[in-house]
Structure 1
Amino acid sequence: MAIAENLQEVRCEIAELTQRFERQPESVRLLAVSKTKPVADLLAAYAAGQRLFGENYVQEAVDKCQQLSSLADIEWHFIGPIQSNKSRQIAETMAWVHTIDRDKIARRLSEQRPADMPPLNVLIQVNVSGEESKSGIALESLDSMVKLVSELPNLRLRGLMAIPAPQENEAAQIQVYAPLKQAFETLQQHYPEVDTLSIGMSGDLAAAIASGSTMVRVGTAIFGARDYA
C-alpha cells in the first residue's frame, strides 16, 4: 500500500478545493486518522511529511504515543468519545482533544493535565444534525460550554468540531454546516485563540472547506480500509 502516494493525492485534493473556494492552501490542516492502523503505517506517513495523527481509542492512542515518543514533532489528536475513567490517560499524552461535550470531562482533563505540559488544546463537539445517536452538544448549549472551557486553567479552547449526518449532495452538506460556521465566526470575535474548525472527512471535504474548515480528518483515503481486531 503506497501511503506516501495516497497522502499526496489527499493533499492535492485539499489544494484544489481551497483554490476552488478562494482560500489559502495552508489554511486547511490535514489530520491523518490512524485508528486501528499499525505503527508501521504511521511511520510511513511520517516519512512522507505527515505530522498530525488522530486516534479514537484511548489505550491504542497511548501505546502509539509511547512507541513513537522519539518523534518529538508528532502532534497527537484524540478524536473519539471520552469515558471518565480514561480521561487521565488522555490528559497525560495528547496535544489535542476534539470531543469535549460534557462539563465533567472538561473539568477532569484540566485537573489531570500534568503541570509540566502545556495546556491541552480542545475543541467543543457540536451535534449539528440533531441526531440522538451522535455525541456533541446542541448549538443552543454552546455558550455555557465555551464559558466553562475558557475558564479552566489547563485547557486552551481552540474551536469547534462536528460530524454531521450524511447528506444527498454538496449543497445540502453546506446548508447543514452553515449554523456551525456562523457560531465559529462569532466565537472568534470573542476569543482570539479560537482558530480551528474541525469538519470534513472523505465524504464531505468540499462542503467542509467551503464552510470554513481549518482541519479535515481523513483516514481510509490515506491508510486504506479500516482494520478490525
Structure 2
Amino acid sequence: MFDVALPESLATARERLHRALEHAGRPLDDALLLAVSKTKPESAVRQAHQLGQRDFGENYLQEALDKQTALSELDDIVWHFIGPLQSNKTRSVAERFAWVHSVDRLKIAQRLNEQRPATLAPLNVCLQVNISREPSKSGVAPEETLALAREILTLPRLRLRGLMAIPAPAESMAQQQAPFAALRKLRDELQASLPEALLDTLSMGMSDDLEAAVTEGATIVRLGSAIFGAR
C-alpha cells in the first residue's frame, strides 16, 4: 500500500537540500540525499524508488535483510548501513551493503574486511566520530580517529571514504553548526596526515539540522522522518 504523502515529502526534502546547497554556494549535486527507511515497510522503499530515490539507509540488520530480499529485483538500489554494528552481524553487512557509516572500532573493520566478498567492490566505510563526546553515543573519540583511519587504510577490502557523526541536539543554527564544523576540520586534518586516503565524505545532517550540516560541508545527509514521516 503506497503512501499518498510520500511524493510530496520526498520532493520537499529534495528542494530543501537544494536550497541549503544554493545558500552555501555549493553545486546542487554536491550532497547526496540518503533516505533513512528504518522501521518503514518495503512498500515505502519501493515507492521512493519509483520516485527516483536510489540510496537508502538502514539501522536494523534483520529488517534491512528482509527488505533487500523483498526488493531484490531493484538492482540499482544502494544500501547504506548506518546503525551500530556488532561483531556477530558483520558478515551480512559485508555481503549485502555498499556502504557502512558506523565503523568505530578496528575489530569491526577487520571483520568487514575479511568477510567482504572478493567478487564485490571494496566496501565504502565512514568512521563514526562521537563529535559531541556524549557517553551514550557510539563513535570513536576525535583524538583517536587518525590512528583508526591509519589501520583501516591497510585493509584491502575496505575503502575509507570519510567521517560520520550524530551530534547532540541543538536549537539554534549556530549551535547546530559547531559540531559539524568540528567534524569537517577533523576530516581536513586526517586528509593532511593521510594524503593517500580519499576522504571525500562527510555523512552528517538529519531532518532537524540539514541546513547547518550542508553549510559546514555535508556530502551525505540522512533524512528519515522528513521523507517517510514520523516513526
**Smaller-chain TM-score bracket:** over 0.9
Aligned match of 2:51: 48
The farther-off stretch of 115-124 and 185-194 is 185-194
Task: Please list, as runs of the form range in 1=range in 2, the aligned pairs for 1:31-180 lying within 5 A after superposition.
Answer: 31-180=34-183
Residues of 1 paired with 2:213 and 2:27: CA distance? 14
Residues of 2 paired with 1:200 and 1:127: CA distance? 14
> Where in structure 1 do 4 or more consecutive aligned residues deviate above 4 Å?
none
Residues of 2 paired with 1:117 and 1:67: CA distance? 21
Secondary structure at 2:205 match in 1: coil
Secondary structure at 1:124 match in 2: strand
Cα shift at 1:9: 0.3
Q: Which amino acid aligns with 1:199?
A: M
Secondary structure at 2:48 match in 1: helix
Residues of 1 paired with 2:85 and 2:187: CA distance? 23
Cα shift at 1:176: 2.0
CA contact (8 A) 2:131 2:141 kept: yes
Aligned match of 1:210: 215
Q: Which amino acid aligns with 2:230?
A: A
Q: Which amino acid aligns with 1:212?
A: G
CA contact (8 A) 2:146 2:190 kept: no
Residues of 2 paired with 1:191 and 1:60: CA distance? 36
Name the CA shift for 1:56/1:155 in 2 (closer, same or farther; >3 Å): same
- TM-score, scaled relative to structure 1: 0.96
Residues of 1 paired with 2:120 and 2:143: CA distance? 33
Residues of 2 paired with 1:178 and 1:33: CA distance? 23
Secondary structure at 1:212 match in 2: coil
Cα shift at 1:27: 0.3
Give the one of 177, 194, 201 matched to 2:199. 194
1:29 matched to 2:37? The reply is no
Secondary structure at 2:29 match in 1: helix
Q: Which amino acid aligns with 2:86?
A: Q
Secondary structure at 1:13 match in 2: helix
Q: Which amino acid aligns with 2:36?
A: V
- Tell me the C-alpha RMSD between the 2 structures: 1.0
Write the deviation string for residues 29-81 of structure 1: whole angstroms up to 9, x where unpaired. Answer: 00000001111100110000000000000111111112212111100000000
Secondary structure at 1:77 match in 2: strand
Write the deviation string for residues 190-210 of structure 1: whole angstroms up to 9, x where unpaired. Answer: 245221100000111111001
Q: Which amino acid aligns with 2:8?
A: E
- TM-score, scaled relative to structure 2: 0.95
